[in-house]
Amino acid sequence: MSVPFYKKRLPFVYTNAALTLIIINVGVFFLNYAIPETRVLLAMVPPWISSRGYVWQFVTYMFTHANMSHILFNMLGLFFFGVQVEHRMGSYEFVLFYMVTGILAGVFSFLVFYITGTITVLLGASGAVFAVLLAFATYYPDARIFIMGIIPVKSTHLVIGYTAIELFSQFANANSGIAHMTHLAGFGFAFLYFVLRLDINPLDVFRGGSGRGGYWR
């Protein structure tokens, strides 16, 4: 029986892809700082995608950040969680996971903005980083993450807490300028990626089961 194309495995190698992604993000940030016009060309502007065909923005928005704190927090998340996830997935699978979840989170946000008529600019790696956080919690459900360096929280509880916060924030303060729906989409597409491609159900892990019925390195 042939394996569906979306389940075909990639060779397991480790090449520090997470650090490479961080370097690319930092490089684009300094490019945007040096040439401000590039930020709006690389960020996601829904009307420009639909009317001008700027489809590359579905990819480049992930590498474009608004300011130093924006990129700092995203890159810290990618470093602390992404490196560990890459160790479990392998570099090729990790890059595929990161790009697919980030792009789909952007497409989802674009569709919501387009349907609702919302005029906004979407930028940042948060959708993909939230996907990486869910992957980390799936692979390391008992890991303790220290909030503000003090409060220990299990990785699975952190994901659940973030989900609740993002849901509340989306409905309570939809005009905050923070793309809460993109963060939630990152979680959602990461979940689908694990279920459909890796045959791992994160919910089983979160409930205390092994969840190891599928592709688990």
Mean pLDDT of 179-207: 90
Mean pLDDT of 5-20: 93
Beta bridge partners of 30: none
End-to-end CA distance of the chain: 23
Q: Where are the domains of the chain?
A: 13-206
Beta bridge partners of 122: 44
Whether the CB-CB separation of 21 and 93 falls below 8 Å is answered with no
> Is residue 214 scored above 50 in pLDDT?
no
What is the Cα–Cα distance from 24 to 31, expressed in whole angstroms?
Answer: 10
> Is residue 175 scored above 70 in pLDDT?
no
Beta bridge partners of 44: 122
Non-local (6+) Cβ contacts of 102 within 8 A are 62, 125, 127, 128, 131, 186
Architecture of the structural domain at 13-206: Up-down Bundle (1.20)
Q: Which of 135, 123, 146 is nearest to 43 (CA)?
A: 123
What is the Cα–Cα distance from 187 to 105, expressed in whole angstroms?
Answer: 9
**Model-level pTM?**
0.89
pLDDT at 103: 97
What is the token pair recorded at 215?
């592709």
What is the Cα–Cα distance from 48 to 41, expressed in whole angstroms?
Answer: 9
pLDDT at 179: 66
Mind listing the pLDDT tens digit for each residue in 65-124?
A: 999 999 998 999 899 899 999 999 999 999 999 999 999 999 999 998 888 887 788 999
Neighbour tally for 44: CB within 10 Å: 28
Q: Which of 68, 21, 61 is nearest to 39 (CA)?
A: 61
